[in-house]
Amino acid sequence: LSNTEDADMAEIASELAKAEAVLQALRQSSARVLSQSLLDFLR
Q: Write the pLDDT tens digit of every residue in 2-43.
A: 566 667 888 999 999 999 999 999 999 988 887 777 667 777
What whole-number distance in Å separates Cα of residue 24 and Cα of residue 40? 24
Its sign, for the CA torsion 10, 16, 22, 24, is negative
Q: Three-state secondary structure along 2-15?
A: HHHHHHHHHHHHHH
Domain boundaries defined on the chain: 1-43
The predicted structure's pLDDT at residue 14 = 94
pTM of the model: 0.64
pLDDT of 15 reads 95
Query: Residue 31: what pLDDT?
Result: 87
Please tell me the distance from the alpha carbon of residue 43 to that of residue 35, in angstroms, as a whole number.
12
Separation in Å, CA 12 to CA 1, 17, 29, 30? 17, 9, 26, 27
